[in-house]
Amino acid sequence: MLETEGYQDRAHAGKQLAHALRQYAGHDQPIVLGLPRGGVPVAFEVASALDAELDIMVVRKLGLPGHEEYAMGAVGSGGVCVLRAGVPGLFGVTQAQVDRTMARELAELARRELRYRGSRPPPLLDGRCVILVDDGIATGASMLAAVQMVRQHPVARLVVAAPVGAPDSVRRLEQEADAVVCPLAPPRFHAVGQYYRVFGQTDDDEVQDLLAKAWARPGRDGKHDT
């Protein structure tokens, strides 16, 4: 498969993305934050190549009732919530449906935070170059929630990075982040998975394994918020 057409798998995509991000290596203590679950294998390769700290930024997509594959918004730690314009109301979605979906996804968010991080405190972001990584950007809702979470800290630079993305979503994120790095933004974008030869679901065990490997690297304990 040609690089202009897509990627073999998330590890291959991460290596390609790291090449596009090489200018950020060594500047302002870069930290790579992967969006679980699919963004973590990509972020692992980016952090390894840039010799940067790896951590996670947990956000959850709010699926449209009855069509959960489509995002009507996203939620993140600390009460961050991003809704698409017109929600509630769009596609007949009610406030009650939004509230139920949000409660369910916040519970899953808390479960993932506990499973992936355990007792490990959140990383210190102040004054650092933060690189948010996902395996792709479709509606951009999850990444936008992640951006808003990072913006709660006085970071030196906020970079959004993904191997592939929908052009409209990429342009929207360019208005919110200091930089967006997305090597592949095809005009006929339909879904992230169509640009990967292998795009199986990333499970919790894989996320934990990759984080454990990254955190076990010498000098990668990092300084953390207290």
Domains in the chain with CATH codes: 10-213 (3.40.50.2020)
Angle at 132 between CA 126 and CA 136, to 5 degrees: 170
| Series of mean pLDDT values for 10-residue runs along the chain (226 residues) | 72 98 94 96 98 93 83 81 83 90 91 89 94 96 90 95 97 97 95 96 96 84 47
Q: What is the β-pairing status of strands 53-56 and 129-133?
A: unpaired
C-beta atoms surrounding 121 within 10 Å: 11
Q: Quote the CA–CA distance of 209 and 103 in Å, as a whole number.
A: 28
- Tell me what pLDDT residue 226 has: 36
pTM: 0.86
Q: What is the β-pairing status of strands 59-64 and 53-56?
A: unpaired
> Among 134, 73, 132, 136, which residue's Cα sits nearest to residue 105?
73
- Tell me what pLDDT residue 219 has: 62
Mind listing the pLDDT tens digit for each residue in 77-114? 777 788 878 888 877 889 999 999 999 999 998 998 89
Residue 159, beta-bridge partner list: 131, 179
- Tell me what pLDDT residue 2 has: 39
- Tell me what pLDDT residue 1 has: 38
Q: What are phi and psi of 144, to 5 degrees?
A: -65, -40
When computed from its CA atoms, the radius of gyration of the chain, rounded to whole angstroms, is 17
